[in-house]
Chains A and B, each alone.
Chain A
Amino acid sequence: MSNYAHPEVLVEADWAKANIGKPGIKFVEVDVDTKAYEVGHIPGAVGFNWQTQLQDQVRRDIVSKEEFERLAGAAGISNGDTVILYGDNNNWFAAYAFWLFKLYGHKDVRLLNGGRVKWLAGADLPLTADKTEVKPTAYKASPADETLRAKLMDVIEIARSSAAARPSNLVDVRSPDEFSGKVIAPPGMTETAQRGGHVPGAASVPWAKAVNQDGTFKPLVELKQLYLEEAKLNPGKPTVAYCRIGERSSHTWFVLKYLLGLKDVRNYDGSWTEYGSVIGVPIER
């Protein structure tokens, strides 16, 4: 399992259990279902709310550097800490938070392999509803590392080039029905686009294909098979991942960059809600 390109960004449940409460190690839970943390979390973990804390509340954007500093500081995180992220739905939003931590230059951030599902399944892995006491810190973030991000213009350029001249691989990580344009967004979702379909040239690899039934990441051979053989991503080129609002794609971004070790991987956080609403850009169904 540790033949991943960067095994150091993944921790297993046993390691996490042994490191609960250790100085310099901070657990952060980020869930799709924001109620989950309140019901029970790893002792000492803080909870981030992806809707109110991880995105700008006025502009459509990620949180600003200053907001991120406030958030990390209020969570008691210091720049030198090892941050362990975990969450529900196979670490869906935990991976988004991981991308943000990297974007703002945090050195040592890791994902708990298997996330919440795996933790809940372990009889000897503790969970508590007790409130976590935090000592606020003065956290300093680096300016956003824009090389981890793809912008609309980059994606339009990919869409308009012929297969041979395409500057980057493009991976659409949404469900098959979103890819085909049968639905614009999963049922009940409020963030949507004007049109359904996908960016021309995108390979469809639903994000959850990268995980096993127990929530852990698939072994390297299977990931290679999935992304390099079946989806035919060219490891010699940069890669852009997108979804609907940029969170599921950060999960795939993590897999491609840290587990497979592809060189230049970017998350297109504008994703389909941006691309699918732009006048005149090419769309495929």
Chain B
Amino acid sequence: MNRFWCIVFLLVPIMGVATFAVAPYYNIWFPRDVSTHGITIDNLFMFILWITGIVFIATEWALFQFTWKYNAAHNPEPAKFSHGEHTLEVVWTIVPAAILLFIAIYQMDAFAAAKMRKPNMQPTAEITGRQFNWDVRYPGPDKELHTLDDIVRYDGNIHMPMGEDVLLVIKSQDVLHSFFLPNLRLKQDVIPGMEQAMWFHAKDTGRFDIVCAELCGWGHYKMKARLTLQTRADFDQWLAETYQAEQAMTTAKVGQ
């Protein structure tokens, strides 16, 4: 029966590794990456997965091996009267410390790129979170935000150009929300009273989910929007059409 428990503990690394090995085949893995920087994050994840995976297998294997070998029912030898081993303690302090320090330094650049190196350009649009929607404001023909010709959309359909740097100003009207674009590997909490920036460079077209990732009330689950990535030409055309439609609406309203 003792051996049975050892096998149970051995199942942990086996099933643990198997789950991660099989998951991609069922598409339970990173969603498609359409950003230029996303690969850095995915690779860093995989790099840490390999390191931790090796440590995981080694330590779980040691646990299995020791419980298997040294159990009282099967091991005739007396227990070793040992209070520890100084050299070992030093080794298993310094080696993990070095690895952790390496990971810490290795990732700094990716974080700086994602959160600190803001591109020097006019914002492409301004996104505002409110219970329970994402509103978007594009600059009109004058290319400037917060002027009379701004194009404002409340329908949760956000269009962005691909193949170039995009800079978004993001903010909140009421409570905390988080602007999460899984396919662009981007996430940033928005805070009332604070304006923040977010930037990316998309490398493909398509329609993608925009998720609210910070609890914002009872309707948090339905604070969904859609991101449409288009070529610059398509985007400009869409923007022009939207502008015209909005102008027409305003004129109609004024006419009434």
Q: Do A and B come from one complex?
A: no
Question: Which residues of A does B touch, CB under 8 Å?
Answer: none
Hey, which bits of chain B sit against chain A, CB under 8 A?
none
